[in-house]
Structure 1
Amino acid sequence: MSLLDRRQTVVVFLAFAFAYFFAAVLRAITATLSPVLTREFHLDAGALGLLAGGYFLGFAIIQLPLGTWLDRHGPRKVNLWFVALAVLGCGAFAMATSFGWLLAARVLCGLGVASCLMAPLTGFRRWFTPGVQLRTNSWMLMTGSFGMVASTLPVQWLLPQFGWRPLFWGLAVLLALSMFVIAWRVPEWSESDHALPPGAPRASYAPVWRHPYFWQMAPLGFFTYGGMIAVQSLWAGPWLSRVAGADPVQAAGGLFTINLCMLATFWTWGLMNPWLQRRGIVTDKLIAWGTPLSLLAVANLVVSGPHAGAAALAFFCTSSTFVALAQPAVGMVFPATLAGRALSAYNLVIFVGVFVVQWGIGLLVDAFRQAGWSDVDAFRGAFGVFLATSALSYAWFLWSRRHNRQSP
């Protein structure tokens, strides 16, 4: 393992963060564009959920080979390959003339940015000390929140001036620029960093799948954290407009508030995590204490309905960040040679969860409306189902924690 000095650490973090910022813009932009895309392509709630979830489907289908490639080839090389696909995906989305074309381009975008978080986390596991890893992992998520902030009011302001298609051409250019920055500033895997020598047998995920700590955290990642991302990146916008009665500008302002709160939350986690670890307040304790706040926040949305606006959604999203701590914790349970596979396997769980919850909420809204429910009650019912799955995931976590002797 070759640790980087302080200056190199900052430069490498910023190079990866530049690409991840635009990956996060791509992730959340459908929440702001949902009224425009719904009108232009005549989308119902299920189709909108599928379109937004296509990004996460692309993300999920490549995670397992991605982890092996990261361990073998290193984050610099792998990230460059993948971001090139995201550039193509943005161009294809900008030229789309049908829902099928939009969906295929959205999947390609998700595929292309699939390494934008896993690559830096894998590199950080090799190049940074444990305390720096905890901080930079949280600050990468904070960078994602910056991108989500940029996908709200700034996008809403640019729409009347340029339209949504030129915005995607602009994202393609900026992602291409991020490739140049990564190629310029991120080091190659050194000989000591290679987990697998040339000609070695294909790396196995068996140690990851067999580890009880991975399965202790998996349901929370799938339903609770995946569900938060599903709401933040899509359903917060329709909730504000169709349940709380906001107009498009007000809804974009609400999304701006939510993502600004997320940015501040991840910044705070980055500052606090090393301090908490030094005092023995480990990830499992934080998740056990904090997850009930997330469950209460979803219950508040269901009960309050039209009275739950941006503040209630922001409380839900920020309280769910306790579960975000599980991802670096899973990575640190395994040795550095397994870091890419462990992180990618857990990321697979999260983003399959995002896809399922994001599309599932849309399908449930449509089903409840067809059963005669109002728009408001259909959304409340769908979020009620999501609450039930999150509560069961938390119960599994508590049970597993008591019985898991390998829990840190």
Structure 2
Amino acid sequence: MTSATCTATDAHAAEGLLDRRRAIWVFLAFAAAYFLSALLRAITATLAPTLSEELALQARDLGLLAGGYFLGFAATQLPLGRWLDRHGPKKVILVFLSVAVLGCAAFAWAASFNGLLAARVLIGAGVSACLMAPLTGYRRWLSPAMQLRANSWMLMTGSLGMVAATLPVQWLMPHVGWRGLFWLLALGIVLCMLWLAWMVPAWPSRRSASSASQASDAGEAPSGYAAVWRHPYFRKMTLIGFFNYGGMVAIQTLWAGPWLVRVTGQTPVEAATGLFWINLSMLCTFWTWGMVTPTLAQRGVPVDRLIAWGLPLSMAMLAFNILQGEATAWVHWALFCMLSTCASLSQPAVAMAFPSSMAGRALSAYNLVIFAGIFVVQWGIGLLVDGFEALGWSELQAFRGAMAVFLGVCVLSYAVFLAVKAHNRGS
């Protein structure tokens, strides 16, 4: 990683590039925190049978409980972006993780659905900086090609966390219970905070950052979000971030599990095993993206083209799963999620469409779009399943109908993506 790899518009960022050894340690510190945030995100899919039995939860309750994490997550994104640009990743993530510790403790203490939901919202808010903080730092500390790799490998770490949320959680449940699990997670977050405080570089003051930025950006970047929302490339990526990418995460972190149990008739342990393999497949996919994206970027293959090639395959796989119905196995949902990962490349691409002085706001605004999509799709599928069953549909028909609605909005989002001609030269 040298300054020669940076674009002309990022000359000011080149001055802050980390050497290889420091970059690896910083990445590992952030990755540990993101691992735990992903585990917390996905754990409801594994705990769903236990929580449903203890608290008599319906499908819409599960969707709302899982979506509560994303509601809390989304609520912090706009102020988070400003704080990241102003105070830097280190200070911001340490403050936010303190809230996550409180959320884990509240979940362990909760005695009702409302208590669990409030704790999930608090957890979501607390871990909401675990991806945005490192990506904001990488925008300044790494070259463009390495930003694509770091983004994919951060998501790979997230997939590892989701793997840990399946069979390992199922194995631990008889020994510590679901409340004990959340006490252990709170302890893990505290240890990550200590590591981050030790390893992450300090952020330059706003005044010095602005002075450096003027050398290449011809002035200080706007302080608000208006320029982000108006940017044509941001708008091009909005709907696929909301429905295609957000919907993929909604399936991976919640609805693949209930589908395997309620549609295909698997036991909770069998479903947890299926989720384990789904998330392991995602881990391998993101590792592969991290290996190949720097080479593809150097050869001039844009992110837009990769997304345009990949999303039709993911939508075709979703249609296949709907038609398969009760014959659908975990491998079919794994293939859908793996093919959908091309949409994850939109995150670093959006960041590179803006100067590094606006990276926090651009990333947080786009993350708000993604996580709002996850919440809407998670809860929406639950509402549709319950609604179709109320109309007299069978459970299989209700799940099929809900997924068909999801497929329809994904197709429309992809059509908008193709129609908007804005491009990102940096990606």
Shorter chain as denominator, the TM-score bin is over 0.9
The counterpart of 1:8, out of the listed 22, 38, 42, is 22
Quote how far apart the aligned CAs of 1:96 are.
0.5
Alpha-carbon separation, structure 1, partners of 2:199 and 2:386: 48
Q: What is the deviation of 1:100?
A: 0.7
Whether the 8 Å CA contact 1:45–1:366 is kept in 2: the answer is yes
For the 8 Å contact 1:73–1:194, the answer to whether it is kept is no
Q: Structure 2 CA distance, aligned partners of 1:146 and 1:234?
A: 16
**Structure 1 191/384 Cα, relative in aligned 2: closer, same or farther at 3 Å?**
same
Out of 99-108 and 157-166, give the one that drifted further: 157-166
Deviation at 1:183, TM superposition (A): 0.3
Of 364, 369, 372, the match for 1:344: 364
CA spacing shift, 1:134–1:194, aligned 2, 3 Å: farther
Alignment of 1:135-154 (within 5 A): 135-154=149-168
Q: Following superposition of structure 1 onto structure 2, how do residues 266-281 of structure 1 map, counting pairs within 5 Å?
A: 266-281=286-301
| Aligned mates of 2:23, 2:242 — CA distance in 1 | 31
Letter in 1 for 2:246: G
Answering whether residue 326 of structure 2 is matched by residue 306 of structure 1, we say yes
What does residue 353 of structure 1 align with? 373
The 1:51/1:15 distance shift into structure 2, 3 A limit, reads: same
Counterpart AA for 2:24: V
Partner AA of 1:305 in structure 2? G
Quick check: 1:71–1:194 contact (8 Å CA) kept in 2?
A: no
Q: Decide which of 124, 129, 145 is 1:115's aligned counterpart.
A: 129
Question: Residue 98 of structure 2 corresponds to which residue in structure 1?
Answer: 84
SS at match of 1:250: helix
Q: Deviations over 1:171-193 (max 9, x none)?
A: 00000110000001111103489
Is the Cα contact below 8 Å between 1:72 and 1:195 reproduced in 2?
no
Secondary structure (helix, strand or coil) at the match of 2:224 reads coil
Q: What aligned pairs does 1:60-75 form with structure 2 within 5 A after superposition?
A: 60-75=74-89
Paired amino acid for 2:45: A
* Match status 1:177 vs 2:215: no
The total of aligned residue pairs comes to 404
Alpha-carbon spacing, 1:300–1:49, altered in 2? closer, same or farther (3 Å): same
Shift of 1:280: 1.2
Is residue 211 from structure 1 mapped to residue 225 from structure 2 by the alignment? Answer: no
Q: In 1, distance between residues paired with 2:262 and 2:410?
A: 24
1:253 to 255, 264, 273: 273
8 A Cα contact 2:352 2:424, kept in partner: no
Aligned mates of 1:113, 1:405 — CA distance in 2: 31
Residue identity matched to 1:58: G
Any unmatched runs of 5+ in structure 2?
A: 1-12, 212-219
Q: Give TM-score scaled by structure 1 length.
A: 0.97
Contact 1:28 1:148 in 2 (8 A): yes
8 Å contact kept, 2:221–2:357 = no
**What is the CA–CA distance in structure 1 between the aligned matches of 2:77 and 2:222, rounded to whole Å?**
16
Aligned AA (2:37): A
- For the pair 1:395 / 2:415, whether they are aligned, the reply is yes
Amino acid aligned to 1:315: L
Q: Tell me by how many angstroms 1:244 deviates.
A: 1.2
Assess, with a 3 A threshold, how the Cα gap between structure 1 residues 131 and 241 changes in structure 2: closer, same or farther.
same
Structure 2: distance between partners of 1:83 and 1:268: 29
Match of 1:38 among 28, 31, 52: 52
Deviation of residue 82 (structure 1)? 0.2
- 1:115-161 per-residue CA deviation (whole Å, 9 max, x = no partner) reads 00000000000111112111111100000000000000000111112
The residue aligned with 1:106 is 120
Deviation string 1:278-330 (CA, Å, 9 cap, x unpaired) is 11111000001110011011101111111111011000100000101001100
| 8 Å CA contact 1:265, 1:318 repeated in 2 | yes
* In structure 2, distance between residues paired with 1:376 and 1:332: 43
1:243 is aligned to 2:257: no
Measure the CA separation in 1 of the matches of 2:148 and 2:221: 32
The CA deviation at 1:202 is 8.6
Opposite residue 96 of structure 1, the aligned amino acid is A
CA distance in 1, matches of 2:156, 2:104: 23
Measured against aligned partners, the alpha-carbon deviations of 1:39-94 in whole angstroms (never above 9, x if no partner) come to: 11111101110000000000101100000000000000000000010000000001
One-letter amino acid matched to 2:128: A
Aligned to 1:288, which of 299, 308, 332?
Answer: 308
Percent of aligned positions that are identical? 62
d(CA) in 2 for partners of 1:330, 1:242: 38
Query: The residue matched to 1:187 in structure 2 has which SS?
Result: coil
Give 1:194 deviation, angstroms.
5.5
2:5 matched residue in structure 1:
none
Whole-Å separation in 2 of the counterparts to 1:104 and 1:195: 38
